[in-house]
């Protein structure tokens, strides 16, 4: 109980960044480092025992997905500390970064003939997602807002960091990976109109890089077809 009180006091002093349906995100200092704290709060409409089980499982899945990505060489936040009683994850704040969404929008608005640069970025995203899926990590909420470009201190390529694994889980099923790509495609094309060519570059890169891509792309096509049928039915 004392530990819980200390944690509540710590979170109370942190800056609230955003609150969603799944939890709250804070910015704080932890062990002298800039830290993002993600807290999953209780859902009062659910039975307390069921809510505790589901919330615990979600927290475990998020941490497991991040660690699995990092072990595979995929850039994701460092996890500093996890409190499974309060369902809080303390993780690295990706300083000096901007979202891929903002980068694409600003590059397009600049109208500076950087189409090749954006295509190369799309290919990098495809390679990283292929590696993630080959590790059987399903992100669950792939958008260009959940990908960060972290500036390098040297004159090298920016690091591409995947964030927000709150809906992630582990699965080897091509269906789950196809749905993951479909979610990204819908988010990508709604956030960045007239970028069909860019997304095709991303998929081509994914297909070349993943050992399991034929089955995944086949499932993606099936999911697209189901999506079109739902749209037609209304």
Q: Which of 141, 164, 176, 180 is catalytic?
A: 141
Scan for tokens 């090749």, then name that residue. Answer: 116
- Residues contacting 65, CB < 8 A, separation 6+: 137, 138, 139, 165, 168, 169, 170
Extract the tokens encoding 92.
């690295």
Do 24 and 65 touch, CB atoms closer than 8 A? no
Whether 155 is catalytic is no
List the catalytic residues: 141
């Amino acid at each position: 109980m004392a530990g819980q009180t200390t944690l509540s006091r710590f979170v109370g002093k942190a800056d609230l960044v955003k609150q969603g349906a799944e939890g709250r995100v804070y910015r704080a200092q932890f062990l002298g480092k800039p830290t993002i704290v993600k807290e999953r709060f209780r859902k009062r409409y659910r039975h307390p025992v069921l809510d505790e089980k589901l919330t615990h499982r979600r927290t475990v899945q998020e941490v497991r997905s991040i660690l699995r990505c990092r072990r595979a060489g995929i850039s994701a936040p460092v996890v500093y500390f996890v409190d499974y009683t309060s369902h809080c994850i303390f993780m690295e704040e990706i300083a000096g970064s901007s979202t891929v969404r903002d980068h694409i929008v600003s590059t397009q608005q600049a109208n500076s003939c950087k189409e090749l640069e954006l295509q190369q970025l799309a290919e990098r995203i495809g390679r990283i997602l292929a590696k993630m899926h080959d590790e059987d990590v399903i992100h669950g909420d792939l958008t260009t807002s959940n990908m960060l470009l972290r500036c390098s201190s040297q004159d090298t390529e920016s690091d591409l960091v995947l964030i927000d694994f709150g809906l992630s889980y582990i699965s080897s099923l091509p269906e789950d990976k196809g749905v993951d790509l479909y979610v990204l495609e819908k988010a990508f094309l709604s956030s960045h109109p007239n970028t069909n060519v860019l997304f095709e570059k991303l998929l081509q890169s994914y297909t070349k890089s993943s050992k399991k891509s034929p089955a995944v792309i086949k499932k993606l096509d099936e999911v697209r077809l189901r999506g079109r049928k739902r749209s037609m039915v209304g």
